[in-house]
Structure 1
Amino acid sequence: MLSYSKVEGKSNILQSLTGLNQSEFKTLLKSFEVAWQEYVQKPRARRYGEGRHAELSSSADKLLFILVYFRLYPTQVVQGFLFGLGQTQACEWIHKLSRILNQALGYEKQLPEREPARLAAVLRACPSLEFLIDGTERPINRPKDPDDQQDYYSGKKKRHSVTNNVISERGGKVMFLSDTYCGRVHDKAICDGEEYEFPEGSRLLQDTGFQGFAPPGVTIRQPKKKPCNQPLSEADKQRNREISKERVEIEHQISGIKRCNILVHKFRNRTDNFIDDVMETACGLHNFRLTQRQLKAA
C-alpha cells in the first residue's frame, strides 16, 4: 500500500508521483493541514473521526493521495488499490481532498483569478505590464446527447473537448483562467464573451487565433497571417519568428499546467463543475512549483 512514509526521502519517486519535490511537498503540506483542520471542524451531526478508522490517517498521506491522482490520473479502482481503498471510498476521498487541495493553494496565493471583472485590477499589480494569452483544450469522452456532441466537438482538434483561455505575466505565473467552455467555442469568442480589460499601457502577446482582439490602451504583438494566395514577405516571416520566440513562454506555462495528467487524458469524472475545478487546481499547482523554484534560485 502506498503511503508517504514509503516515499519520504526518495525525492525522485515523490516527484514522479506528485510533480513536487520533497521541499515543495512539505511546504504545501502546511497549508493543506490548515485547510483540512477547517474542514473537520465544520459543524456536522456527528463529529468528524467518530466513525470507522480512516485509511488515509495522516495529512501527508491525504496530500500524497490527491497529488498522485492529479499527476497520474489512474482509474478510481487503481487509485483505491494503490492506497488500500475500495473504488467507492477512493471516489469519496478524491472529491473531498480536491476541495482541500484547492483551498490550500488559495492560502498559498497561487490560484489564478477567475472573475473577468477583476482582471484589470489583478494585472495592474504586475510591474512589467507584459502579458501572454492563449487557449488550451482538454479531451473528454464523447457525450451521449446529440446536441452535446455538436457543442463539444472541436473541429481544430478533431475530438470532443472543453477549452479555457489562460493569461500569464511575462516571466511570471498564470494570472487568469477563464471559465470552461465547450470545445467548439473559439478562443476569441471567449475573450469577447468575458469582456477582458487590461491596464492602460499593457503589452499583450497573442497568436492568430485571437485575430481582431484588441483591448483599448493595449499594444498587441501578434504574428501576421499569410494573405490568401500570396506568400509572406521575408520581413514578415522574420517578425513572426521574433514574436513566436517571445510567445513560446505561454506554451511552456500550459505545458507546466498539463504536468497533471488529469488534464491530458480523456476526462472521465461526471461530477458537476469538477472539470472546471481541476483546471483551476492544476494552474495553482503550476504557480506553486514556479514560485518555490524562483525562491530557491534567488
Structure 2
Amino acid sequence: MNYMLARWGLLPVRDGGKLAQRLVAHHEPVFAYDRVERGVPRNQDREAQAEEYSEKKAHRLKNMTLCDSTQYVHYLSPTEGGRCHDKRLADEYALGLPTGSVLCQGLGLLGHAPAGVLMEMPHKKPPRGELTFAQLLYNRLLSLLRVVIEHAHRGIKRLRMVQDRVRLRGEWRRDTVMVVARGLHDLHIRAPSAPTRPINSTPKSNKVY
C-alpha cells in the first residue's frame, strides 16, 4: 500500500524539517496544526502502559498533523503514546514552514512557535475573569479556520482501523495504519469527483471504508 501511495504522490512528509520544501510554492500559505488520537487496548507490559496511558482518555496513540484549507494533510508526525503532551510532541518533531506562513493551532500547543511563522491561537479565558467582546469575536472567527483540521481528522478516521481501537501489535504496524488512512483521505480530497465543502461546514456522511 505504501508503494502505491508513493507512486500516486500521496505519501505524507514525516520529517517536519523537510516540510518547507514541500510547501514553498503552496498557493495559500495558511495551515492548521493539531494532534489526532486513536484508542488502543490496554497493554500487558507495564512500561507500554505508562507510555500509552492518557489520564484523560485512557490508552491512546497520537500523531501531529498539518493540513491546508482543502483538508489535504501534508504532514504526519511519527506515532507516539498518549502520555506525550501535545506541546512536547510538537517540539520533539519540529516543523519547518515557509517564511510568512500562517499557522492556526489550539491552546494545547501554547508556546509552540516555528521560526518565521505568524501564529494564530485563540485567547484563553483568564483566571476569575472574562474575555472581552473583541477576544470572543476573534476566537469565533479563528474557529472557522481551525475547524478544517477537525474535518481532516474525521476523513482520516473513515478507515475503521483508525476510528476503532487499533488492535494490531508493533510500532511499525500501528504507524503504517495511520499512513494508509491519511493517504486514503488525501486521495479522496484530490479525486476530481470529490465534492467540495466549505471549511466551516459539518460533514454530511459518517461512511467508513
Q: Is TM (by shorter chain) over 0.5?
A: yes
Structure 1 residue runs of 5 or longer lacking an equivalent are 1-100
- Once the two structures are superposed, residues 98-155 of structure 1 have per-residue CA deviations (whole angstroms, 9 ceiling, x without a partner) of xxx2211211111211122211111213121111101011100101122221221112
| Residue of structure 2 in register with 1:136 after alignment | 36
Larger radius of gyration: 1
The CA deviation string for residues 32-51 of structure 1, in whole angstroms up to 9 with x for no partner, is xxxxxxxxxxxxxxxxxxxx
| Distance in structure 2 (CA, Å) of the matches to 1:230 and 1:259 | 40
Are 1:269 and 2:161 an aligned pair? no
| 2:161 is aligned with 1:288 | no
Distance in 1 of aligned mates of 2:29 and 2:71:
11
Q: Of 174, 180, 189, which aligns to 2:79?
A: 180
- Looking at structure 2, the residues matched to 250 and 229 of structure 1 have their Cα atoms a distance apart, in angstroms, of 31
Q: How does 1:205-220 map to 2 (within 5 A)?
A: 205-220=104-119
Structure 1 residue matching 2:191: 3-state secondary structure: helix
Greater Cα shift, 239-248 or 124-133: 124-133
CA–CA distance in structure 1, aligned partners of residues 23 and 160 of structure 2: 29
1:232 to 124, 131, 135: 131
Aligned residue in 1 for 2:99: 200
Q: Cα 1:294–1:190, aligned 2, differ >3 Å: closer, same or farther?
A: farther
Q: After superposition, what is the alpha-carbon deviation per residue over 1:4-24, rounded to whole angstroms, capped at 9, x for unaligned?
A: xxxxxxxxxxxxxxxxxxxxx
Note if 1:112 corresponds to 2:29: no
Which amino acid is 1:147 matched to? E
Contact 1:133 1:206 in 2 (8 A): yes
Identity of aligned residues (%): 36
Q: Deviations over 1:43-69 (max 9, x none)?
A: xxxxxxxxxxxxxxxxxxxxxxxxxxx
Cα distance in 1 for partners of 2:195, 2:121 equals 34
Following superposition, the deviation at residue 295 of structure 1 comes to 7.2
- 1:29-178 alignment runs, 5 A limit: 101-157=1-57, 159-178=58-77
Partners of 2:68 and 2:32 in 1: CA distance: 6
Q: Is the strand fraction higher in 1 or 2?
A: 2
Q: Distance in 1 between matches of 2:172 and 2:125?
A: 39
Q: Give the structure-1-normalised TM-score.
A: 0.63
* Aligned CA distance change for structure 1 residues 174 and 125 (closer, same or farther; 3 Å): same
Q: Which runs of 5+ in 2 are unaligned?
A: 197-209
Contact 2:39/2:59 (<8 A) preserved: yes
Which AA in structure 2 matches 1:164? N
Q: Residue type matched to 2:129 in 1?
A: Q
Q: Comparing both structures, which one devotes a greater share of its residues to helix? A: 1
C-alpha separation between the residues in 2 aligned to 1:121 and 1:272? 28
Equivalent residue pairs, number = 196
- Using the alignment, how far apart are the partners of 2:45 and 2:164 within structure 1? 21
Distance change (3 Å), C-alpha of 1:296 and 1:163: closer
- Tell me, yes or no, if the aligned pair for 1:141 and 1:268 is still in contact at 8 Å: yes
SS where residue 131 of structure 2 aligns? coil
Aligned partners of 1:293, 1:211: CA distance in 2, in Å? 37
3-state SS of paired residue (1:290): helix
Question: 1:111, 1:287 within 8 Å by CA — same for their partners in 2?
Answer: no
1:294 shift after superposition: 6.0
Query: Aligned AA for 1:278?
Result: V
**Shift in Å at residue 177 of structure 1?**
0.2
State the secondary structure of the residue aligned to 1:128: coil
Does the Cα contact within 8 Å between 2:12 and 2:183 map onto a contact in 1?
yes
Please report the TM-score for the alignment, with normalisation by the length of structure 2: 0.88
